[in-house]
């Protein structure tokens, strides 16, 4: 953490931080900032204090139509912009994100309640823009062999047009970068709709894109509620949707997109298994197991099911419970805080309800947590249940809160069976010293993102996404770029 940021935290209240770091609330359509709309405004509550953080415009269909029109108008020119110029602008966006990283750290803390951490500011976003800037001049095609006739056949990789990017609230800048960077590197234009629980980082991101020299209309930011998101998905001029969020919203999006046969890429939830074998480094495995409490458990890929081989079960559980009991829960602006609040009062009450239901049903043994600290804001203490049956609701359903289910297993086959017995398939984790077992188990786990003996840092160069009800399509790497390109085949007769 920088000295400047540390000093800021030690001397700044939430109200002072909001006054200093929140951008002016407005829609960004083309080069116009629009703060007054017929839909009025929506309040955003600070999850750490339970008080008003700020308000933002509620866009409706008319504003979405204007944003899509701006993106559609900008598309031909942006598509024709030289790859070198696209690369230059994207590198400048990365530079501005770096220069404003302290603001994004603070925005993430204020909006989402995550403890201040530069990694939650702009680091991943910067990496994605730098990585995809390098792709801007490397998008080619291929020569296709044809038979039995003669001719010349080639394939072009072309941008779709207007992309609708629907962001999640637990990492709005990161998810914006994961969608926008490859989309504009490929020559598309974008309409961003941030989640209503975290609108401000996306607004500031849009401003920086314009400041970097991105032509007006290439990026547009529409804030609001479900009506705005629905209007984007249903718009006939939106060529593709990229969504990160929950499965309930995903089903609504798919039904709406079906009307115009709009393709969709989705990164959804998870109930990821963390498999610890008896030959693992127990200290490392137990420390990694506590990652379920990162961001107050509000992460789709977090290891929320801990599968432990019987021979080391007691040792692992003891270390996990001891470590979890020492997690400092509190104000995200306090440098000593490890876990902040959950996103809203409704989320807190829902998570507490899941815990209470599990206790009433006798779902395993409550080993630690299960309550909330006596402070203002929306907090839930990190909670661990031991001896959980994998068929239980607690083990099968995504809690999206700091709740861990610990499940024993006897051997490798049983571990794989338990891990794959889920409707989700986003991530999987393996702890073992046996290299052959590590590759074997990784191969058998039905998930799109596997980490061995630790946590994959999700570099921009690697694809990320899930199987089953965790979604489809990929973000990151070459696969993430290809989500925003379609193939055009051209045949030239030589007869």
With contact defined as beta carbons under 8 Å apart, do 477 and 463 qualify? yes
Cα–Cα distance between 172 and 223 in angstroms, integer?
A: 12
- β-strand 151-159 against 141-143: which pairing, if any? antiparallel
- β-strand 383-386 against 365-368: which pairing, if any? antiparallel
Q: Sign of dihedral through CA atoms 223, 225, 226, 230?
A: negative
Cα–Cα distance between 488 and 153 in angstroms, integer?
A: 11
Other C-beta atoms within 10 Å of 412: how many? Answer: 17
DSSP-derived secondary structure letter, 473: S
Other C-beta atoms within 10 Å of 490: how many? Answer: 11
Cα–Cα distance between 153 and 38 in angstroms, integer?
A: 52
Residue 300 annotated as catalytic: yes
Contacts of 156 (CB under 8 A, 6+ apart): 141, 487, 488, 489, 490
Cα–Cα distance between 282 and 102 in angstroms, integer?
A: 36
Cα–Cα distance between 338 and 373 in angstroms, integer?
A: 14
Out of 63, 102, 209, 300, which one is annotated catalytic? 300
Q: Is the peptide bond before 148 cis (omega within 30 degrees of 0)?
A: yes
Out of 63, 102, 111, 267, which one is annotated catalytic? 267
Cα–Cα distance between 209 and 220 in angstroms, integer?
A: 10
Residues found in the chain:
495
Give the torsion through C-alpha atoms of 406, 409, 414, 418, to 10 deg.
Answer: -10
Cα–Cα distance between 251 and 248 in angstroms, integer?
A: 5
Q: Which residues are catalytic?
A: 267, 300
């Amino acid at each position: 953490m920088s000295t400047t940021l540390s000093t800021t935290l030690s001397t700044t209240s939430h109200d002072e931080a909001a006054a200093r770091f929140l951008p002016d609330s407005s829609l960004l359509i083309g080069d116009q900032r629009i703060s007054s709309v017929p839909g009025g405004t929506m309040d955003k509550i600070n999850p750490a204090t339970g008080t008003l953080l700020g308000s933002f415009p509620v866009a409706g269909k008319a504003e979405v139509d204007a944003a899509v029109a701006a993106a559609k108008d900008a598309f031909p020119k942006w598509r024709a912009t030289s790859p070198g110029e696209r690369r230059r602008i994207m590198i400048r966006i990365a530079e501005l994100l770096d220069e404003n990283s302290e603001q994004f750290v603070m925005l993430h803390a204020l909006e989402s309640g995550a403890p201040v951490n530069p990694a939650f500011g702009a680091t991943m976003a910067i990496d994605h823009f730098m990585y995809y800037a390098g792709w801007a001049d490397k998008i080619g095609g291929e020569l296709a062999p044809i038979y039995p006739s003669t001719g010349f056949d080639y394939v072009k990789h072309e941008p779709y047009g207007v992309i609708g990017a629907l962001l999640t609230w637990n990492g709005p800048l990161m998810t914006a970068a994961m969608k926008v960077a490859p989309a504009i590197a490929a020559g598309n234009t974008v309409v961003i709709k941030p989640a209503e629980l975290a609108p401000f980082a996306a607004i500031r991101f849009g401003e920086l894109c314009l400041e970097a020299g991105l032509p007006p209309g290439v990026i547009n930011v529409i804030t609001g509620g479900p009506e705005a998101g629905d209007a984007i998905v249903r718009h006939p001029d939106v060529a593709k949707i990229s969504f990160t969020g929950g499965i309930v919203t995903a089903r609504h999006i798919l039904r709406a997109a079906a009307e115009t046969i709009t393709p969709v890429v989705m990164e959804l939830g998870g109930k990821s298994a963390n498999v610890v074998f008896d030959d693992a480094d127990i200290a490392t495995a137990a420390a990694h197991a506590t990652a379920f409490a990162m961001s107050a458990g509000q992460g789709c890929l977090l290891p929320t099911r801990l599968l432990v081989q019987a021979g080391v079960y007691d040792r692992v559980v003891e270390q996990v419970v001891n470590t979890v009991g020492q997690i400092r829960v509190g104000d995200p602006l306090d440098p000593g805080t490890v876990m902040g609040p959950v996103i809203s009062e409704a989320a807190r009450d829902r998570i507490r309800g899941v815990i209470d239901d599990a206790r009433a049903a006798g779902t395993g043994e409550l080993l630690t947590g299960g309550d909330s600290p006596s402070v203002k804001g929306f907090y839930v203490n990190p909670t661990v249940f031991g001896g959980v049956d994998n068929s239980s609701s607690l083990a099968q359903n995504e809690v999206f809160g700091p709740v861990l289910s610990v499940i024993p297993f006897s051997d490798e086959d049983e571990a794989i069976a338990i891990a794959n017995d889920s409707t989700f398939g986003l991530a999987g984790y393996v702890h073992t010293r046996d290299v052959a077992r590590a590759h074997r188990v990784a191969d058998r786990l039905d998930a799109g993102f596997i980490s061995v003996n630790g946590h994959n840092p999700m570099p921009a160069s690697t694809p990320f996404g899930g199987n089953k009800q965790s979604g489809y399509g990929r973000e990151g790497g070459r696969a993430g770029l290809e989500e925003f390109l379609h193939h055009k085949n051209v045949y030239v007769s030589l007869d």
